[in-house]
Structure 1
């Protein structure tokens, strides 16, 4: 397996402010220096990087700058992360416009994968139709990704309508998009990550790894929390998945490169067993 790292730790995540009044422009952004992020990720020993769609948009008018940055660091842009509500018919065309733009940019920079999260929770409560709309929308995302030579996967996430194993079961059988297990989000949503991975092993097309402490709640570098990461990695291996493992850490109370190095050392030891 090859090891990659997500750039989110170098500034956290925000939404593009234009998106408040223009849904088609509501890209995710890491509010930090991508040059430092890519350089640190490479120096920490990772071969690949995942970025948010909005950070690629920042390079759209100066593409050679990002290409030179990746080439100079010796890392590959593996995947691009995007997201949307996906359940509101009136705004879905504009959301898909944004997904299409994300896929176009991802492909232009040599990425292999498009990862999406989403499925809004309504103030009035989630309906059964919301899962059907989400499933249909994710099929469209898969179509868009494939038209640009990318593999698409869905990432269950806290605050969406797909947090728990039961909610995942309501979605995945009804859409053809691939599955991106984020092991910490699965655990925080009440699931056992290894069990979920074994249940949907044939759907896995991307993986996010981070550790978790439940009380007080925090996402942590690998090996610093309470997840059974050896059991999780064994489940991933047993599923037949043998590709990129992307380490992700939303934020870190310290140097993000140091966090990346902690996870790298833990993963290298674990994968050597």
Structure 2
């Protein structure tokens, strides 16, 4: 075991040892406000809310002082999920990628002002074959990871790169991220399933790379898909997949459930707590 027993490198400033649980907010559509998400998360005794910084809650629509005040008042921590749908941090076109990186930096600054401790990053690009090869894009993505990771460190926000389903960077590409950057990882269970991992494979990956994994998305599904059903209602063997988390790892774990009904989040928290 090279990683898990040594603890999470990402949590030295995150409020103590051990595993903390939270949820990815579904605020981007506007159906749930950031205030409601934070308040309901606190009511459900989550340790943190992972605020999605896109759509209705993209950075220019947030008042960082107000968000921080509500979170402090509810005694709940904050993480953020950086935007990804329309940003191109790995674009082969210099002007586009530079503007996208500047936008992500502005989001990290907003996250810091809100008191968020981690920021989930999709290191991805829509520049794909046949127009663009992996060799055209991957160096720019790695450079962006290094740049944003360093910027986050300057602002007290740990950038955690998420494995993506079927596109750069998948869970099978992370050896290069681990070797060529200092960034931490967000391990997404649903995305890992899309790319061929079963619960035993996840257990092995978490065991081997626990020292670089700071954050986990529990994304349950009924098969190898990016489905985000309520935790426990899919077919992921959570107890097996998360076994290393119970073995001395300290970090953060979000349930990622596509629902505006907080009853499903309550059930998801209970199922996650049982697995942990």
Alignment correspondent of 2:67: 66
Say whether residues 1:258 and 2:263 are aligned partners. yes
Match of 1:151 among 155, 158, 174: 158
- Alignment partner of 1:114: what SS? strand
Alignment correspondent of 2:115: 110
Alignment correspondent of 1:228: 237
CA distance 1:198–1:215, shift in 2 (3 Å): closer
Alignment correspondent of 1:198: 207
Match of 2:101 among 92, 96, 99: 96
Alignment correspondent of 2:13: none
Cα RMSD (Å)? 2.4
C-alpha separation between the residues in 2 aligned to 1:136 and 1:216? 29
Alignment correspondent of 1:243: 251
Alignment correspondent of 1:219: 228
Partner deviation per Cα, 1:198-220 (whole Å, 9 max, x = no partner): 23222111121121112787321
C-alpha separation between the residues in 2 aligned to 1:265 and 1:154? 27
CA distance 1:126–1:171, shift in 2 (3 Å): farther
Residue range with higher mean Cα deviation, 191-200 or 227-236: 191-200
More relative contact order in 1 or in 2 (CA 8 Å, sep 6+)?
Answer: 2
C-alpha separation between the residues in 2 aligned to 1:261 and 1:126? 44
Alignment correspondent of 1:86: 89
Partner deviation per Cα, 1:77-111 (whole Å, 9 max, x = no partner): 13343434332241221111111111111111111
Q: TM-score if structure 1 supplies the norm length?
A: 0.80
Q: TM-score if structure 2 supplies the norm length?
A: 0.79
Alignment correspondent of 1:186: 192
Partner deviation per Cα, 1:204-244 (whole Å, 9 max, x = no partner): 11121121112787321221111121112212344x53122
C-alpha separation between the residues in 1 aligned to 2:78 and 2:36? 15
Alignment correspondent of 1:53: 53
Alignment correspondent of 1:15: none
C-alpha separation between the residues in 1 aligned to 2:22 and 2:267? 13
Query: 1:85 touches 1:119 (CA, 8 Å); kept in 2?
Result: yes
Query: 1:164 touches 1:190 (CA, 8 Å); kept in 2?
Result: no
